[in-house]
Amino acid sequence: MIPKAQILQFAGTYELQATTVQKDYVLGWILRAFSSHPELSKWVFKGGTCLKKCFFETYRFSEDLDFTIPKSILISKELIQDFLSEMCSEIESLTGITFPRKDWKIDKYENKRGNTSFLVRIPFDGPLKLPSRSLQRIKFDLTQDELLADEPVLRDLHHIYSDKSDPAPKIRCYSIDEILAEKTRALVERSGRARDVYDVVNISRNFRIEISPGRAAEIAQAKFEFKELAKPSVQYILESIDLDLLRTNWENQLAHQINELPQADSFIADLHNAIAWWLEPKLADKELPAMPLATGQPVRRQMFPEIQPGQSFSTMDKIRRAARNRFLVHIVYK
């Protein structure tokens, strides 16, 4: 386990609460243990935490772990308890992070469609050594009531802390096209939750090159149909979003996960185009002409900033973050 000082250093670098960074650290170890477990490694990771941990820097520190469990896998409350206990025992033996078993909560419930899903909450004691009454919890949202519309992919786990493994563990994930399609469907199902809006617009602004528009649209069609929703269209999706509720919840849902949180209206203004460019391209804004590519050796795109404990972001990383979030930047040069 890394020292408390390292959590505090990263909290200072990202300008976030130390507890937010500690949870991110423990999430990394949980995913690492998932990757080597004979059963948990078959579950398919998805959602906003998947984006941040396995695809690119979203600047949003997520809190929960969402998995789709393939229907071919037998699952029950007892099996979940056993598998997660084995996983936690491995982490405890390697790190000293502890997961007090007496306070675990594993709830089996029927979702809106009448199908069984599971919600798991596991407390942990990490580098900050919080009082037992104040321990943070990891939430797992587990379901088999979901359509896997694309082939899962194995992605490297991004772990910024000094105890990262080399090579990086491989995590079974939704494809980026399927994450985008499911996040877009969530805009309808959850009336435009702040985190979903942030992720959909963030992908559109900064990572279009990773998306196959036609494939993402096909997956969205299948996923909307699976949940018995109307055919996906830009108009239908936007009309499903409660903008007043979105603005009200923006700070509450995101401010503890992102420093210098952009205004909700800057994301609302981009929502139409964030959906249209891949779902209904004829409705999308006309793209500006791209700058001509320089000749010579191509440079691999940097998906995550290179940062060490105690270091601040480089000037280039600060500019990159500002560009991704449409910030106004003042650059002084000599």
Residues 1 and 140 in one domain: yes
Looking at the structure, do residues 192 and 248 belong to the same domain, yes or no?
A: yes
Q: In which element (H, E) is residue 164 found?
A: none
* 116 and 1 belong to one structural domain: yes
Same domain for 70 and 204? no
Are the C-beta atoms of 132 and 98 separated by less than 8 Å? no
Compute the distance between CA of residue 52 and CA of residue 316 in angstroms, rounded to an integer. Answer: 19
CB-based contacts of 159: which residues, under 8 Å, 6+ apart?
28, 32, 53, 165, 168
Split into its structural domains, the chain has a count of 2
Structure tokens at 153: 């992919």
Domain end: 247, 268, 283, which one? 283
Alpha carbons 128 and 130: distance in angstroms, whole number: 6
Q: Give the Cα separation of 261 and 255 in Å (integer).
A: 6
Token representation of residue 209: 């090159």
- Last residue in a domain, options 255, 283, 311: 283
Single residue among 283, 303, 328 that ends a domain in this structure: 283
pLDDT of amino acid 271 = 98
Does residue 167 have a cis peptide bond before it, meaning omega lies within 30 degrees of 0?
yes
**Listed residue (205, 189, 317, 332) closest to 267, CA to CA:** 205
| pLDDT confidence of residue 311 | 77
Cα dihedral 152, 159, 96, 90 in deg (nearest 10): 20
The neighbour count for residue 175, using CB atoms within 10 Å, is 24
Is residue 29 located within the same domain as residue 105? yes
Which residues are within 8 A (CB) of 119 and not within 5 positions of it... i.e. 6 or more apart? 105, 106, 107, 109, 139, 140, 141, 142
pLDDT in tens, the chain (334 residues): 999 999 999 999 999 999 999 999 999 999 999 999 999 999 999 999 999 999 998 888 988 999 999 999 999 999 999 999 999 999 999 999 999 999 999 999 988 788 889 999 999 999 999 999 999 999 999 999 999 999 999 999 999 999 999 999 999 999 999 999 999 999 999 999 999 999 999 999 989 999 999 999 999 999 999 999 999 999 999 999 999 999 999 999 999 999 889 999 999 999 999 999 999 999 999 887 767 766 676 666 677 877 777 777 888 888 878 887 788 777 788 8
What residues make up the domain containing 239? 175-283
Say what the pLDDT of residue 298 is.
63
